[in-house]
Amino acid sequence: MVAYDPGAFVPFAVSVDLVVLTVRQDRLQVLTVRRGEEPYAGRTALPGGFVRPRESLLDAARRELAEETGLDTGGLRGVGHLEQLASYGDPDRDPRMRVVTVAYLALAPDLPAPVPGGDARDAGWRPVAPLLARPGELAFDHGAVLRDGVERARAKLEYTTLATAFCPGEFTVAELRQVYDVVWDTALDPRNFHRKATTAPGFLQPLDATTARAGGRPARLYRPGPATVLTPPILRP
């Protein structure tokens, strides 16, 4: 048995970061802040911060989201899906000290415009595609965190019912298909998608109501069904 050597352990801090994705203006967008303090003052970053001594990881994520963006969602109320994404602990990821961060992925229908606060100088929704193309634009290793969050969301749309988390409470099949088109950056065949979505057991629950909000003929409204897994999956082209 090896004796405990306190000198062999380096003090470190724990932080949380949030990849909050939504579909706005027909584009996949992510919630970002502009840092008001060093390091990386003035740079774009994902919302997040240090975990307090008596605070759980999830409570820290909720607090940081409210403090930095003003989106006081009551514990992320209104967010259609929230899950722990991954942990990032490269020794040099933060120039201040050794910091291990736990990232969360949140998916939601169109949320309101954020209001900056805390140590964030600005906050807003930004299209994902340009940030993925230039990951170094984001502070710390947030480019990699965003990449992992987007890929997690894209993959989960294939085999789970997660796409409905981007939709309002009642939606049409065309609106659901738009989520897939935007998140996957593709254009699915409308008839083929309609058949797969409406025949997948437990995916959608039809309502006795229609809407013409997209123009044209009235379309049937649906709400999320009880299933969490798509059988068979809807695969990316």
pLDDT digits (tens, 9 = 90+) for 18-52: 999 999 999 999 999 999 899 999 999 999 999 99
Give the pLDDT of residue 75: 43
The Cα–Cα gap between 101 and 64 comes to 13
Among 185, 202, 187, 194, which Cα is nearest to 220's?
194
Give the pLDDT of residue 14: 97
Give the pLDDT of residue 93: 95
Count the Cβ atoms, other than its own, within 10 Å of residue 53: 5
Give the domains, in start order, of the chain with CATH numbers: 12-157 (3.90.79.10), 160-224 (1.10.10.10)
Among 64, 74, 45, 65, which Cα is nearest to 114's?
65
pTM of the predicted model, to two decimals?
A: 0.89
Give the pLDDT of residue 212: 87
Residue type for position 230: L
In order of 21, 22, 129, 135, 163, the CA distances from 145 in angstroms are: 12, 16, 14, 10, 20
Using 70 as the pLDDT threshold, list the residues of the chain that sit under it.
1-4, 6-8, 71-80, 115, 117-120
Give the pLDDT of residue 62: 84
Residue with tokens 């789970």: 160
Give the pLDDT of residue 72: 56
